[in-house]
Amino acid sequence: MKTIFSPDQMLHAPQFEVSDGKLEPAKEIPSRAQMVLDRLKAVQFGEIIEPRSFSLDPILKIHASDYIEFLSDFWRLWTEEGRTEQEAFPFVWPVRQLRTDIVPDQIDGKLGHYSFDAGTPMGPHTWTAVRRSAETALTGAAMMAEGARSAFALCRPPGHHAHKSFFGGYCFINNAAVAAQYLRDHGAKRVSVFDVDYHHGNGTQAIFYDRADVQFLSIHADPKVEFPYYLGHADEKGVGEGEEFNLNYPLPHGTPWEVWSRALEEGCASIEAYKPDVLVVSLGMDTFEKDPISQFKLKSEEFNLIGERLAKLGLPTLFIMEGGYAVEDLGVNCVNTLTGFRQ
């Protein structure tokens, strides 16, 4: 299995995030990708290649053009307003009765309009890294469309919390959604996106919620007690043509493999019934027992079992990296999943 990655993805290097009411050290940092690369090389897992270049068109099939323009222009606008901070945080949002149909001119107003949390700072090179991360996902999708049986897009920044026109949860472009759409546009009739990150994939769910051609499944911590809080409940099943093609498996804090794997089984059964042409896995390793921001109890060896179970589906499978913040163990856990799949 080939891995796709660009060193440009390291250029987004946040120092801080707002979490638990204070500035904390950022969790979604470049060393995450480095740990995965180091482990891939140590076990000689397979070739590591650079992503191809793409126009913005496949990204604009998922994201609003004004949002992508905001991301790409952001640092210029920020410095033009005389701001000197090296990372920018949103801190005011248009919730409920506030207006979302007028985009503010001032940069803090824009930041709030295009985001949903204060945990996702933007820096001078965020756009370069974000676009390259999306191209990593797109290259994986192109390889699958060209007949590969599997590929690993080492995306960073991650993507599954990003909606059509706002960022959050460390995510800016929804890499898995962009890849799934690319696959639809290049021969796949049906695509399943299976999100096994600890957090609900709110962005991916919302993007495909009214569609029957992309099935979305997510196993995650119950949003009643965990980020992203406002989406990911079991009764969210899709709307219109998309009804029954959205499946959520919220689980309590403390969930061990014995319970988590039952949701994995149920998800796999639903994928088998849907009969997709290709599977996209939103691969988060933050279900790990030692993850610093998460509360599930999966052990390193159990990541092999995830890969093994997914392989039994017998589908062409594109892995897209999402979260996982136990940096020291991240490479082992990630490569364990990929190794379990390959055996």
Q: Which residue is nearest to Zn ion (CB)?
A: 323
- Nearest CA among 157, 141, 152, 197 for reference residue 339: 152
Q: Which residue is nearest to ligand SP5 (CB)?
A: 323
Member of 161, 163, 184, 211 binding ligand SP5 (CB under 6 A): 161
Please write down the HEC assignment for all residues of the chain: CEEECCHHHHHCCCCEEEECCEEEECCCCHHHHHHHHHHHHHCCCCCEECCCCCCCHHHHCCCCHHHHHHHHHHHHHHHHCCCCCCCECCCCCCCCCCCCCCCCCCHHHHHHHCECCCCCCECCCHHHHHHHHHHHHHHHHHHHHCCCCEEEECCCCCCCCCCCCCEECCECCCHHHHHHHHHHHCCCCCEEEEECCCCCCHHHHHHHCCCCCEEEEEEEECCCCCCCCCCCCCCCCCCHHHCCCEEEEEECCCCCHHHHHHHHHHHHHHHHHHCCCEEEEEECCCCECCCCCCCCCECHHHHHHHHHHHHCCCCCEEEEECCCCCHHHHHHHHHHHHHHHHC
Does 227 help bind Zn ion (rule: CB under 5 A)? no
Residue 307 site contact among ligand SP5, Zn ion, none (CB < 5 to 8 Å, cut-off depends on kind): none
The catalytic residue positions are: 161
Member of 78, 170, 182, 319 binding ligand SP5 (CB under 6 A): 170
Member of 51, 169, 238, 267 binding ligand SP5 (CB under 6 A): 169
Does 28 help bind Zn ion (rule: CB under 5 A)? no
Does 146 help bind ligand SP5 (rule: CB under 6 A)? no
Residues 323-342 that bind ligand SP5 (CB under 6 A): 323
What is the total count of residues that contact ligand SP5 (CB under 6 A)?
16
Residue 341 site contact among Zn ion, ligand SP5, none (CB < 5 to 8 Å, cut-off depends on kind): none
Residues 194-233 that bind ligand SP5 (CB under 6 A): 197, 199, 227
Looking at the Cβ atoms of 138 and 293, the one nearer to ligand SP5 is 293
Does 78 help bind ligand SP5 (rule: CB under 6 A)? no
CA-CA-CA-CA torsion sign (205, 207, 209, 214): negative
Does 322 help bind ligand SP5 (rule: CB under 6 A)? yes
Member of 112, 238, 323, 331 binding Zn ion (CB under 5 A): 323
Member of 28, 117, 197, 302 binding Zn ion (CB under 5 A): 197
Does 267 help bind ligand SP5 (rule: CB under 6 A)? no
Looking at the Cβ atoms of 167 and 316, the one nearer to ligand SP5 is 167
Which residues of this chain interact with ligand SP5, rule CB under 6 A? 19-20, 119, 158, 161, 169-171, 197, 199, 227, 284, 286, 293, 322-323
- In the complex, which residues of this chain contact Zn ion (CB under 5 A)? 197-199, 284, 286, 323
